[in-house]
Structure 1
Amino acid sequence: MWFHEMASQRSFPEDDFSIYYVLAECTDHYDPCPVNEAEENQPHFQGVTGLRNLGNTCYMNAILQCLCSISPLVEYFLSGKYINSLQKDCSEVATAFAYVMTDMWLGDSDCVSPEIFRSALGNLYPVFMKKTQQDAQEFLIYVLNELHEALKKYHQRKSYEKKSIPRCCRKMIANESSIITRLFEGQLSYSIICLKCENCTYKNEVFTVISLPIPSEYECSLQNHFGDLDGGHYTAFCKNSVTQAWYSFDDT
């Protein structure tokens, strides 16, 4: 998978140095398959690493590139904070994700293989082990759900003053949370008013992925799909939190 720099290089911001901390056991895993080393005249930047296409896995690579470019998520995994939250009975996917994150940010290769992550997720959802194109959004939902299940913590419900949260949300205070819910989860609040009696009822709906209307005019996006419903190709644009430059990732 190649990458192309889309913005000028900038100095390393001090507040991003925390992403370089990593648990020792994570650094022991490297892609066993040989990869082409970077040319000497092309500097390698942390977090700007390609993912090998394992056979119609561009949908997976595009999602992984986007997730591995989210600074709070990068810091959480590379610092080893995730270890304390791991649920022993469902830690395989989260551990494999940490390995991929480590290879992409702390490795010295232009390209690494996400095979260990695909195998971990494929053990639970065999459809992702097939060498056929899959929907990127559906893949993202499965990944976020598995990461949440592996990293969630339970909390006792707290008592809140009525003014501290919206009325419609008071009954929906979750008693479990994770880095995934903190970064990706939101709530849609609905109110239904009877035109006759003016009685008002409230409803909440939790989401991690929200569907938006398709604009009538073309606009740039972070994740792109080319082709039709039966086939095509996914690519991703990601902003590197260290260099502050935008990169185009395309594993063709």
Structure 2
Amino acid sequence: MGKNYFEDLFEKAFVYIHYDENVESCIFRASCWLKEANELYSSSQWMSSYILYLRVFKLVYIIPQRFRISKNASYYNDLLQIQKNTIQLTERLTTLQKRIAVMHAFTPIELSHVLQLANHHDPSTIFLNIYAHNSSKEYSFSSGTVFLDASFIQNNSLDAIRTVIKTPHQAHIKTAICYSCDNMLDDANIASKIYLSLLAMGITPRFLDLNSPAKVGKNTISISPVGLTNLGNSCYMNSILQCCFACSPFVSLFIDGQALRSLNQNNPLGTGGKLTTAFTSLSHQVRALQGQGVCSPKDFLANVCSIYSEFDTASQHDAQEFLNFFLDSLHEDLNSSAGKAPLPELTTEQQAAKERLPMSHLANIEWNIYKRRNSSPIADLFFGQLASQIKCLTCQRTSTTFAPFSSLALPIKDTTTSCTLETCISAFSMQEVLQGNNAWHCPKCDVPRDAKKTMSVSRLPSVLIFQLKRFRMIGTTHRKIETSLEFKKRISSGMIVPPSFQSSIYYEPVDYELFAFVNHYGDLENGHYTATVFHNYDWYYCDDAIVQPVTDFKRIYQNFSTAYILFYQKVDAAN
């Protein structure tokens, strides 16, 4: 672990006080964060609770610097109490640092994956049980488990530890899964000795946290990639399906039967369950192949065309267009809140009052209104929220609207040099000046006025999808932008959500990791789509019926540089 790791976490725990907040709202926000952090700590979510505790510390520290505090104010006793509660957290933060240090050095592993390895008796994997009490000494995953007394590790050299770990088959061992029922890996000295001993033996250490219920049973269903038959011009569909199959929490909905149990066949905006049933069937077919052979999505495509006839195989179609249709249709099929009456429209006075609320508060109100009529597991996974605000440059009146999104369409600069994903995201959020024929009709001035329009991401989904706007309309034809995109495996929420929305009590800084992307080759009318997906720690290149493991990481960089659609998934804070 680098010595600046915890400094980076300190920076990650970003705190922002909105210009129209007061002492009372800040105290309330700190109290909510503290309550949530304690709940996360109780459920063994160490990283999430640590970052939230840091945010409490920061907010409580800057309140007296931002505001003039009066001892006679009604909030004074509440401020003293939250300050006392914060000071008492010092010891807990130290404990959390030790836990996080271990979890950062050892690559974490899910219990479901450990059980799978144990059931298949993987000869390249050993299990290390670091115990302190005889009661847990026999807790093993396989006959090949090595038991290490914590006191022995504390009192002996690395050579002595390696001697105990050695087995007759050491040459074949690649991975050691380390765990402790007695939490002995929380001891930095013990953890570091185990870590260094294994590395010296050429063995990769993995950390299994038996105390974290959030890790148990999480995303347990996955599908090994197999080829999909091209049914004429169906590569646009095949590439999207491969990316969806690589999304474990999504495909689990269909494999475990939750989707079929949640069908709302009475929703006129859905497909009557037709698309959900067809994809469930296809998911089971692909999973049954266990990574071997080719599957034909003929029946699935027939159902798609019966719902939306435009998706035939007579001509090429846009993969993003199919993705939008696919997610929206599944959402409506599974929308348990469809049909609820909309709330009455706001009066002019109510609309003006709403505009005076902090943006982060307003975003939460609007999201709850949206969820009132849109409740589905698809929305829970893929849907975020966009905020659009127009501000009159004459009277400063604002008009703010919110809308859900399932993917973000990012502009990409047409240049001969490469660009970064950060650059594309910044361009997406760039202010737009409305003037001349495009001036905004200000409701307060009641005449067209010059204005500024800002688009922001106010809420992020669990699965974040980016579409790069590589096609530009010139006259009556599309021109493709071939700008190379620099590889970005992990991104932070802070580079997407602006500070005004990071102040929300519902915002938690998280990272997203790339798990799939779609490439487009050629032009829009005569192009070809492929997918590159991540499964079980390996990348696979999917070109219709052909699926190949990608062993050369340079090829990943090369494929990513021409990517069209990117799929990122929120990662556990400890990873």
Give the superposition deviation at 1:72. 0.7
Match of 1:42 in 2: none
Give the superposition deviation at 1:137. 0.6
Letter in 2 for 1:138: E
Match of 1:36 in 2: none
Structure 1 counterpart SS, 2:403: strand
Match of 2:365 in 1: 170
Q: 141, 152, 174: which one pairs with 2:335?
A: 152
Letter in 1 for 2:308: Y
Q: Does 1:131 find its partner at 2:131? A: no
8 Å contact from structure 1 (residues 57, 131) kept in 2: no
**Higher mean Cα deviation, 216-225 or 176-185?**
216-225
Q: 107, 116, 119: which one pairs with 2:299?
A: 116
Match of 2:542 in 1: 249
Tell me how far apart the structure 1 counterparts of residues 237 and 312 of structure 2 sit (CA, whole Å): 11
**Structure with the higher fraction of residues in helix conformation:** 2
8 Å contact from structure 1 (residues 192, 201) kept in 2: yes
Tell me how far apart the structure 2 counterparts of residues 190 and 127 of structure 1 sit (CA, whole Å): 31
8 Å contact from structure 1 (residues 169, 204) kept in 2: no
8 Å contact from structure 1 (residues 168, 203) kept in 2: no
Q: What are the superposed Cα offsets for residues 148-198 of structure 1, whole Å, 9 maximum, x if unpaired? A: 1111111889xxxx8995214524522222122112111111222223322
Match of 1:84 in 2: 261
Give the superposition deviation at 1:75. 1.5
Structure 1 counterpart SS, 2:324: helix
Q: Does 1:182 find its partner at 2:282? A: no
Letter in 1 for 2:543: D
Tell me how far apart the structure 1 counterparts of residues 218 and 381 of structure 2 sit (CA, whole Å): 18
Tell me how far apart the structure 2 counterparts of residues 195 and 54 of structure 1 sit (CA, whole Å): 54
Tell me how far apart the structure 1 counterparts of residues 393 and 360 of structure 2 sit (CA, whole Å): 26
Return closer, same or farther for 1:16/1:167 CA change in 2, 3 Å cut-off: closer
Structure 1 counterpart SS, 2:399: strand
Letter in 1 for 2:224: G
Number of aligned residue pairs:
212
8 Å contact from structure 1 (residues 100, 117) kept in 2: yes
8 Å contact from structure 2 (residues 318, 524) kept in 1: no
Structure 1: runs of 5 or more not aligned: 1-9, 21-45
Match of 2:113 in 1: 13
- Give the root-mean-square deviation of aligned CA atoms: 2.7
Match of 1:4 in 2: none
Letter in 2 for 1:13: H
Tell me how far apart the structure 1 counterparts of residues 276 and 412 of structure 2 sit (CA, whole Å): 32
Q: Does 1:232 find its partner at 2:527? A: yes
Tell me how far apart the structure 2 counterparts of residues 17 and 84 of structure 1 sit (CA, whole Å): 19
Return closer, same or farther for 1:196/1:16 CA change in 2, 3 Å cut-off: closer
Q: What are the superposed Cα offsets for residues 32-85 of structure 1, whole Å, 9 maximum, x if unpaired? A: xxxxxxxxxxxxxx4221111111111110000011111110211111111221
Give the superposition deviation at 1:224. 0.2
Letter in 1 for 2:384: G
Match of 2:277 in 1: 95
Letter in 2 for 1:71: S
**Higher mean Cα deviation, 217-226 or 136-145?**
217-226
Give the superposition deviation at 1:225. 0.4
Structure 1 or 2, whichever has the larger Rg, is: 2
Letter in 2 for 1:111: V
Match of 1:71 in 2: 248
8 Å contact from structure 2 (residues 534, 540) kept in 1: yes
The TM-score normalised by the length of structure 1 is 0.75
Match of 1:26 in 2: none
8 Å contact from structure 1 (residues 82, 151) kept in 2: yes
Letter in 2 for 1:77: F
Structure 1 counterpart SS, 2:317: coil
Match of 1:141 in 2: 324
Letter in 2 for 1:72: P
Structure 2: runs of 5 or more not aligned: 1-108, 115-216, 267-271, 343-356, 419-483, 488-515, 546-575
Q: What are the superposed Cα offsets for residues 83-117 of structure 1, whole Å, 9 maximum, x if unpaired? A: 22112351111111111111222334411011111
Tell me how far apart the structure 2 counterparts of residues 47 and 131 of structure 1 sit (CA, whole Å): 30
Q: Which structure 1 residue ranges, 4+ long, deviate > 6 Å from structure 2?
A: none
8 Å contact from structure 1 (residues 87, 150) kept in 2: yes
Tell which has more relative contact order, 1 or 2 (C-alpha 8 A, sep 6+). Answer: 1
Tell me how far apart the structure 2 counterparts of residues 168 and 193 of structure 1 sit (CA, whole Å): 17
Match of 1:25 in 2: none
Letter in 2 for 1:134: H
**Higher mean Cα deviation, 194-203 or 115-124?**
194-203
